[in-house]
Structures are given as structure tokens and as C-alpha cells.
């Protein structure tokens, strides 16, 4: 009886191994990064240290980390949500971009009082974002179209459609570079703590994380989403409207990604300046993988990724190492965390040993 | 604009733009027949494109370039197959990771070798030759359409026939289809499912690599950052529309090639270039809906008969 407290259930061991696998994935990625740095760098140790603890060097860099984390909160939650419903919808990238464009179109209007103007931009961003992620879902439900392919195509449609608007009707010929007219002052998001790089998008982001976590784990609709994601047939038999759930979830996820694009643009810039994909949607996929679609964990993962990106930027400033090193690290982390059989033998041995011990104790009683 | 579509230049451009799509389309056909959801073709193509440039630049031999390119692309295919088949990694995530790896990794390697991050124009890499077909090239109208293409463009059409033959007429092709349709049944007659899928993935990778080689050693004379620009995905879409049949897939890749060709010249018709760039993706989306609704009708008809 004394020992039985030490006996874990198989589920607990599997849970532990998820964490171990994540740590190993990060470790392998860092070892790989070390070798990559060694191929370019003159001072490997110094550069590798910058990669590891560069952002901690001064408070300005830590603010950069937090600032880079804001858009990731939105795309991370959006992707987690849609993946929870089992939908491999990768249009978060397009939804983020189109949301930013839609918000821009509203932000250019002068003469709306500030709080209403901001709400209107967010509304515009969320509606257009919802369309971008919702259309592939509707196509899937109605016409059996494979979501990965259609959502990917949707990204490009959103990108070029948005660029058309920015570079033609909204383009400011006096800007000196490819950008829209400046936003109306009333549309620019208020800053936090008087800091130029922190804006209320951070608070909105955490609110979204909180609300979606509650929706997904404490509300009937969230249960429907997860059931559809795990087993469509079972969901159907238990009376859950599968198609409706898929479409609504995708619309909601798109709206979140669209709001992400909105706050990122209106919080950091005075005009629309993107000329291509921002990669926040792809990063969202990595975050969802890291968190196993659990929105509660997104802030931690977003912080981790923002931290890595900041180190890569500072590494790029102080050394010859191209910031693309981050893509490589990201790829390695995703692939090893997603590898279910990675470390499986070790996990299996643990589970067997654990069960044998449990049996022995039972017999001993 | 109609003038252009009925011109010799247009057909020539369709074949040129369609070449990389044809290769990826055929790669995707083999992947689909083995029932592997692979989206890593972007990564394979990028690695192959860079590998070919590096190999040919350092050896000054086009065959060495071709082999290094194919090897580079196949490495990505091998990693994909190993993780998906032996480590039970979700194919979508593996593909995604390898595409990210492809974009970032190629820039990293390019920077390492040339000190440049945008393109490899400083490397003296080679290009595949253009082929002027004797006799045909002298026929008016047809000559300028069909002759004078890059060697790889002709190879692409050979690959279509080869893939069709391979899938439907060879033992290995039959095994791949069996494994794709019902792995348990295939295993019960002694086919090694994982090994067969692995082989299918490698073949698929080699074909996709040829598409990558065309990008940097035919379409363009050097490698540029993320130069495949979603072509790997358009190839998958074509395969989807053609429902895994090499010949139908070929037709759809040429449709997309046509959309791209129109896109490239749209500016001369005073259309904004963004609409032009959007065309192939929009056409794909519409195509997916049209085919999807047709399939759905067929399905409901079948159910009604039952």
C-alpha cells in the first residue's frame, strides 16, 4: 500500500513522455543549430550563447520578445482551434494577411471617434479573416474538397487580392516605398506602459487565449469540436451536427487570425507595409503542434518562439549567421515532436516496468 | 487577350510554365497511389534546385548537376518517408516541417557558399540545353510551338508516359496501388507495406526533384530564394483534380500552366499584376469545386441506385 502511491497510470507515463519528447526535440534542434552556427561562425561559442540567452541581455530585447509574441498568440490559438476539430486548414496565414488588409481599409477612413474606429477595424479584420478560413471549410463540407489543398490556394488568393488593394487603390504614391496611405490616428491601437512596441493587442491576445480555452474545454460546443476532431462518425451518431461544427470552428479560427493581423498592423505600423506573407500563420501551426492543440499552452509556446526569433535577429546583427537558421530549428522541432514513435522503445519499457510493479504489489497484498 | 491565347507564343508558354507542374503532378500521382499524403514537394524541389546549381557550378558538368540535384531532393523524400512510415509522424506536419526546412535550409546553404541570400547568380552554374527537334522545327506554326523547349520539358512528357506505364503495367506499380488501396490485403499476400511505400516515396521524390532542377537550370539560370512559389502545391492540386490518373493530371497541370502563362502577360493587357499572380490559385479553387460537385453527384446517383 505504501508503494502504490509511486505507481503511475499508463496515461501519466504517456503524458510524461510527451513532455520528454518535446524537450528532446528542442535539444536535438539546438544541437543541430550549434553545428549550423559552427559552419558559418568565427566565434561559435559566443554566437551560440547569443542564440541561447541573447534576448536576456537587455530589457529592450525582452520587450521585442513580448512584442513578437502578440501575433503568435492569435495564429497559435486559431490553428489550435481548427486542428482540434480535425481540420487540416492552413489558411491562417491568408486570414492573418487578409484581416490586416481589411482592417487597413477601415483604418484609412478619417473622422471616426477612436474607440469605435478600433472596434470597427477589428470587426472588419475578423469578418474577412473568417471568410478566408471559412471558405475552404465550406468547400470541404459541401463538395468534399481536400482542405489542405484548398486552404493553401486560399492563402495565395488572399495574398494577391490583398496586395492588389494595398498597391492600387490604397497605395500612397508619396510614401517612397510600397505602402498604403497612413492610418487615421483614431485607428491606431493605444500603447501599453507608454512603450512604442507594446500595444493593447497583447491584452486582446490573452483574452482570446482565455476565451477559447474555456470554449474548447468547458462548453458543450467545445466538446462538439473535440469530438468531431477525434471521430467524425462517433460525433455524427451522438447527434452532433458535424458539418456545422466544422464550418463554425473554421470561421471562428479565421476571425481570430484576422484579428491577429489587425492588431499587429494597427499596433506596430502607421501604414500597411507587408509585401508578402508574414509567416505568422505557419508559425501558428508550429505552436499548435508544440501545444498539442491546447490553447492554454499557446502563450508559453508563443513566448518560446518569439524568444528564438529575437535571438536569431540579434545573432544576425552581431554575426554572419542568417536568420533563416530559425526555419531550420522550427522544422526540426516540429518533426521530432510530431514523431509518435520517437523514443517509443524507452516509453514502452517504462510502461511495461510500471505495470509489472503494479502487478507485483497487487500480488503482495 | 484572345489573340494571345490562340497564338504560338501561348502554347509555347503553356509547355514552359507547365513543365515543373508536370513533374510535381506525376510525383504526387505516385504518392497518392501509395496513399501517402505528402505535401513536402516544395521542400524537395527547392533542395533539388539548389543541389543542381551547386553540383553543376562546381563540376561544370550538367550530368553531375542533375545527379546532385536529384540526390538533394531525394534526401528530403527519404527523411519524409522515414519519419512518416517508421516514426509514425503525421504526414501533414512532416511535410510542413520539411517545406519550412526547404525554404530556410536552402537560403542557409546558399549563404554559406556564396555569401548571398537572394540568389546564386554569382555561381557559374549550368543550364539544361534547349532542344531543337529536327524536321518538326521547320513546320510552320507547329514548329515554334513544340520545338526549342528545354530538355527537361520534353523529359516531363516522357515521365508522364513512364509513370502511367509504371503504375498500371509493372509489378512494382501494382504493388504500390495495392498498398495504397488496402494495406492489410496487400500485407496478407506477402507485400511489405512499409518498404513498398518507402520505394514509392523515393520515386516520387526523384520526379519532384526534376521539377526543381527545371526551376533553377531551365526556367531561370540560377537559384533564387523560395523560387518554387507554391508550385509543389499546385502539382498536388492537379493530381487531386485528375483523381490520380497520370493523363488527367497532365491535362490539369497544363491548364494551370496556361493560367500562369496568361498571368505572366496580363500586365500587357493592362490588368493589375496581382490578378495575374492570383489566377492559377483561383483557377485551382474553382476547379476543385467543380470536380468536387461532380463527384458528389456521382456518389448520390450511385447511392440512389443501391
Q: Which H, E and C letters describe chain B, residue by residue? A: CHHHHCCHHHHHHHHHHHHHHHHHHHHHHHHHHCCCCCCCHHHHHHHHHHHHHHHHHHHCCHHHHHHHHHHHHHHHHHHHHHHHHHCCECHHHHHHHHHHHHHHHHHHHHHHHHCCCCECCCCCCCCCCEECCCCHHHCCCHHHHHCCEEHHHHHHHHHHHHHHHHHHHCHHHHHHHHHHHCHHHHHHCCCCHHHHHHHHHHHHHHHHHHHHHHHHHHHCCCCECCCCCCHHHHHHHHHHHCCCCHHHHHHHHHHHHHHHHHHHHHHHHCCCHHHHHHHHHHHHHHHHHHHHHHHHHHHHHHHHHC
Query: B interface toward A at CB cutoff 8 Å?
Result: 37, 39, 79, 83, 86-90, 92-94, 96-98, 100-101, 103-105, 107-108, 111-112, 117, 230, 233, 236-237, 240, 272, 274-275, 277-278, 281-282, 284-285, 288-289, 292-293, 295-296
Percent of chain B residues past pLDDT 70, beyond the cut: 95
User: Mutation test of the interface with chain A: which of B281, B294, B299, choosing the one with the most A Cβ atoms within 10 A?
Assistant: B281
Average pLDDT over residues B13-36: 93
pLDDT at A3 over 60: no
Does B272 reside within a domain? no
> What number is the average pLDDT over the span A151-180?
84
Cβ contacts of B92 on chain A, cutoff 8 Å: 88, 148
Q: Residue B74 falls within a domain, yes or no?
A: yes
Per residue in B198-208, pLDDT (tens digit) is: 999 999 999 99
Counting the structural domains of chain B, the total is 1
Interface test with B, best of A334, A336, A337, A341 (most B CBs within 10 A): A334
Question: What pLDDT score does A2 carry?
Answer: 46
Instruction: Sort out which chain A residues have CB atoms less than 8 A from B278's CB and list them.
Output: 156-157, 160-161, 164
Q: Which positions in chain A touch B39 (Cβ < 8 Å)?
A: 148
Q: Could you tell me which residue, A354 or B79, shows the higher pLDDT?
A: B79
Q: What is the pLDDT of residue B256?
A: 86
- A188 pLDDT above the threshold of 50: yes
Crossing angle of helices B171-181 and B8-33, in 10° steps, is 70
CB contact under 8 A, A157 and B233: no
CB pairs A-B closer than 8 Å: 144
| Cβ within 8 Å, pair B104-A330 | yes
| Alpha helices for A168-297 (secondary structure H) | 201-218, 220-230, 232-237, 242-268, 280-290
Residue A194 to chain B, least CA–CA distance (Å) = 36
User: What whole-number distance in Å separates Cα of residue B81 and Cα of residue B102?
Assistant: 16
**How many C-beta neighbours within 10 Å does residue B153 have?**
23
Q: How many helices and strands in chain B, by DSSP H and E?
A: 13, 2
How far is the alpha carbon of B135 from chain A, nearest alpha carbon, in Å?
41
Q: Is the dihedral of CA A137, A143, A148, A151 positive or negative?
A: negative
User: Phi-psi bin for B43: left (phi > 0), alpha (psi -120 to 50), beta?
Assistant: alpha
Residue B15's domain comprises 2-228
CA distance A108 to chain B (A): 21
ipTM greater than cut 0.85: no
Instruction: Please give the Cα distance from B278 to A155 (Å, whole number).
Output: 10
Distance between CA atoms of A66 and A56, rounded to whole angstroms?
A: 12
* Residue B60 falls in which region: left (phi positive, over 0), alpha (psi -120 to 50) or beta: left
Q: Give pLDDT, residue A352.
A: 83
Is residue B66 a part of any domain in this protein?
Answer: yes
Q: A267-294 pLDDT, tens per residue?
A: 888 888 888 888 898 889 888 888 888 8
Mutation site, B87, B114, B259, B282, interface A, largest A CB count within 10 A:
B87
Instruction: Return the number of other C-beta atoms located less than 10 Å from residue B221's C-beta.
Output: 14
CB contact under 8 A, B96 and A325: no
Beta carbons within 8 Å of A352's beta carbon, 6+ residues apart: none
Residue A209 and residue A199: Cα distance in Å, rounded?
A: 17
What's the gap between Cα A136 and its chain centre? 19
Decide if A287 contacts A299 (C-beta within 8 A). Answer: no
Average pLDDT over residues A48-56: 79
Q: Phi and psi of B133, rounded to 5°?
A: -75, 125
Reply yes or no on whether the pLDDT at A1 is more than 50: no
Stated length of chain A: 365
- Contact of A292 with B93, CB cutoff 8 Å: no
DSSP state of B87: S
- B292 contact residues in A (CB cutoff 8 A): 139, 142-145
A40·B288 Cβ contact <8 A:
no
Give tens-digit pLDDT for B159-177: 999 999 999 999 999 999 9
Closest partner CB to A339 (pick from B89, B278, B289) = B89
- Please answer yes or no on whether B98 and A335 come within 8 Å at the CB atom: yes
- To the nearest whole Å, the CA of A111 is away from the closest chain B CA by 31
Residue B139, pLDDT above cutoff 80: no
Is residue B88 included in any domain, yes or no? yes
Instruction: Give A361 to chain B, closest Cα distance, Å.
Output: 34
Q: What local confidence, expressed as pLDDT, does residue A256 receive? A: 95
Considering CB atoms only, which of B79, B89, B105 is closest to A340?
B89
Cross-strand bridge partners of residue A171: A180
The mean per-residue pLDDT over the stretch A173-185 comes to: 77
The reply to whether residue A148 touches residue B39, judged by beta carbons under 8 angstroms, is: yes
Find the chain A residues whose C-beta atoms sit closer than 8 A to any C-beta of B: 36, 39-40, 88, 90, 139, 142-146, 148-150, 152-154, 156-157, 160-161, 163-164, 167-168, 282, 285, 289, 322, 324-328, 330-332, 334-335, 338-342, 344
Q: Helix, strand, or coil here: B132?
A: coil
Q: What is the pLDDT of residues B257-289, one digit of tens each?
A: 888 888 777 666 667 777 777 887 888 888 888
Compute φ and ψ for B7, nearest 5 degrees.
-100, 165
Q: At what angle do helices B41-59 and B91-114 cross, to 10 degrees?
A: 30
| Contact between B86 and B194 (Cβ < 8 Å) | yes
Nearest to A88 by CA among A148, A134, A133, A35: A148
Mutate to test the interface with B, among A324, A330, A341, A342 (most CBs of B within 10 A): A324
- Determine what percent of chain A is predicted with pLDDT higher than 70: 98
Percentage of residues in chain A having pLDDT higher than 90: 25
User: What pLDDT is recorded for position A102?
Assistant: 93
Average pLDDT (A306-311) is 86
Averaged pLDDT of chain B: 87
Residue B152, Cβ neighbours under 10 Å: how many? 25
Q: Is B244 inside a domain boundary?
A: no
Answer yes or no: do B104 and A168 touch at CB < 8 A: no
More confident residue, B196 or A9: B196
Measured over the CA atoms of residue B168, residue B173, residue B175 and residue B178, the dihedral's sign is negative
- Nearest-neighbour CA in chain A from B101: distance (Å): 5
Coil vs helix vs strand at A311: helix
Assigned domain for B277 exists: no
- Note whether residue B273 is domain-resident: no
Q: Which of A12-16, A127-131, A340-344 has the highest mean pLDDT?
A: A127-131
| Per-residue CA distances from A230 to A84, A202, A233 (Å) | 8, 32, 9
Integer Rg of chain A from CA? 23
pTM of the entire structure?
0.85
Spatial separation of the C-alpha atoms in residues B104 and B113, rounded to whole Å: 15
**Residue B235: inside a domain:** no
The predicted pLDDT at position B83 comes to 92
Residues of B in contact with A340 (CB under 8 A): 87-89
Q: Least CA distance to B292: which residue of chain A? A: A143
Amino acid at each position: 500500500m505504501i508503494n502504490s502511491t509511486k505507481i503511475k497510470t499508463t496515461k501519466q507515463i504517456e503524458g510524461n513522455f510527451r513532455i520528454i519528447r518535446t524537450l528532446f526535440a528542442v535539444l536535438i534542434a539546438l544541437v543541430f543549430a550549434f553545428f549550423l552556427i559552427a559552419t558559418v561562425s568565427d566565434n561559435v561559442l559566443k554566437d551560440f550563447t547569443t542564440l541561447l540567452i541573447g534576448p536576456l541581455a537587455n530589457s529592450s530585447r525582452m520587450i521585442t520578445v513580448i512584442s513578437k509574441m502578440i501575433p503568435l498568440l492569435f495564429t497559435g490559438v486559431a490553428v489550435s482551434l481548427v486542428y482540434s476539430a480535425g481540420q487540416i486548414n492552413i489558411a491562417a496565414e491568408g486570414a492573418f494577411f487578409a484581416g490586416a488588409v481589411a482592417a487597413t481599409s477601415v483604418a484609412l477612413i478619417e473622422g471616426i471617434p477612436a474607440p469605435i474606429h478600433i472596434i470597427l477595424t477589428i470587426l472588419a479584420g475578423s469578418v474577412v479573416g473568417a471568410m478566408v478560413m471559412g471558405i475552404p471549410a465550406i468547400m470541404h463540407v459541401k463538395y468534399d474538397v481536400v482542405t489542405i489543398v484548398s486552404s493553401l490556394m486560399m492563402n495565395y488568393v488572399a495574398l494577391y487580392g490583398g496586395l492588389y488593394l494595398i498597391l492600387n487603390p490604397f497605395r500612397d504614391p508619396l510614401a517612397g516605398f510600397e505602402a498604403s496611405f497612413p492610418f487615421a490616428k483614431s485607428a491606431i491601437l493605444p500603447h501599453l506602459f507608454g512603450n512604442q512596441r507594446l500595444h493593447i493587442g497583447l491584452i486582446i491576445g490573452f483574452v482570446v487565449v482565455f476565451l477559447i480555452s474555456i470554449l474548447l474545454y468547458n462548453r458543450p460546443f467545445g466538446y462538439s469540436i473535440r469530438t468531431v476532431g477525434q471521430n467524425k462518425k462517433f460525433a455524427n451518431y451522438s447527434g452532433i451536427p458535424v458539418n456545422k461544427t466544422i464550418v463554425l470552428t473554421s470561421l471562428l479560427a479565421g476571425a481570430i487570425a484576422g484579428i491577429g493581423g489587425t492588431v499587429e498592423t494597427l499596433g506596430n505600423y502607421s501604414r500597411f507595409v507587408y509585401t508578402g506573407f508574414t509567416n505568422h500563420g505557419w508559425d501558428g501551426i508550429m505552436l499548435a503542434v508544440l501545444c498539442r492543440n491546447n490553447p492554454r499552452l499557446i502563450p508559453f509556446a508563443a513566448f518560446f518562439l518569439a524568444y528564438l526569433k529575437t535571438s536569431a535577429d540579434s545573432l544576425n546583427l552581431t554575426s554572419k549567421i542568417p536568420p533563416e537558421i530559425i526555419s531550420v530549428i522550427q522544422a526540426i522541432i516540429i518533426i521530432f515532436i510530431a514523431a509518435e514513435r520517437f523514443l517509443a522503445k524507452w516509453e514502452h519499457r517504462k510502461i511495461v516496468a510500471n505495470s509489472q510493479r503494479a502487478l507485483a504489489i497487487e500480488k503482495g497484498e | 487577350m484572345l489573340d494571345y491565347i490562340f497564338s504560338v507564343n501561348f502554347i509555347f508558354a503553356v509547355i514552359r510554365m507547365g513543365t515543373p507542374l508536370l513533374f510535381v503532378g506525376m510525383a504526387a500521382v505516385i504518392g497518392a497511389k501509395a496513399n501517402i499524403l505528402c505535401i513536402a514537394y516544395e521542400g524537395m524541389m527547392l533542395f533539388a534546385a539548389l543541389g543542381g546549381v551547386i553540383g553543376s557550378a562546381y563540376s561544370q558538368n550538367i550530368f553531375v548537376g542533375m545527379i546532385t540535384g536529384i540526390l538533394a531532393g531525394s534526401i528530403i523524400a527519404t527523411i519524409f518517408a522515414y519519419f512518416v512510415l517508421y516514426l509514425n509522424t503525421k504526414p501533414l506536419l512532416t511535410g510542413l516541417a520539411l517545406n519550412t526546412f526547404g525554404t530556410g535550409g536552402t537560403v542557409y546553404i546558399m549563404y554559406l557558399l556564396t555569401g548571398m541570400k537572394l540568389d546564386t547568380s554569382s555561381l557559374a552554374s549550368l543550364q539544361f540545353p534547349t532542344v531543337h527537334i529536327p524536321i518538326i522545327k521547320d513546320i510552320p506554326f507547329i514548329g515554334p510551338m513544340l520545338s526549342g523547349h528545354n530538355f527537361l520539358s520534353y523529359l516531363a512528357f516522357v515521365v508522364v508516359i513512364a509513370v502511367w506505364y509504371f503504375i498500371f503495367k509493372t509489378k512494382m506499380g501494382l504493388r504500390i496501388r495495392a498498398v495504397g488501396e488496402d494495406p492489410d490485403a496487400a500485407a496478407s499476400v506477402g507485400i511489405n507495406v512499409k518498404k513498398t511505400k518507402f520505394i514509392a516515396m523515393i520515386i516520387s521524390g526523384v520526379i519532384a526533384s526534376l521539377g526543381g532542377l527545371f526551376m533553377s537550370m531551365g526556367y531561370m539560370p540560377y537559384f533564387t530564394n523560395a523560387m518554387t512559389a507554391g508550385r509543389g502545391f499546385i502539382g498536388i492540386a492537379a493530381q487531386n483534380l485528375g483523381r490520380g490518373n497520370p493523363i488527367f493530371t497532365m491535362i490539369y497541370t497544363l491548364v494551370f500552366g496556361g493560367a500562369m502563362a496568361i498571368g505572366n502577360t496580363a500586365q500587357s493587357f493592362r490588368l493589375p499584376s496581382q490578378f495575374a499572380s492570383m489566377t492559377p490559385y483561383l483557377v485551382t479553387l474553382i476547379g476543385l469545386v467543380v470536380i468536387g460537385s461532380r463527384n458528389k453527384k456521382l456518389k448520390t446517383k450511385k447511392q440512389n441506385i443501391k
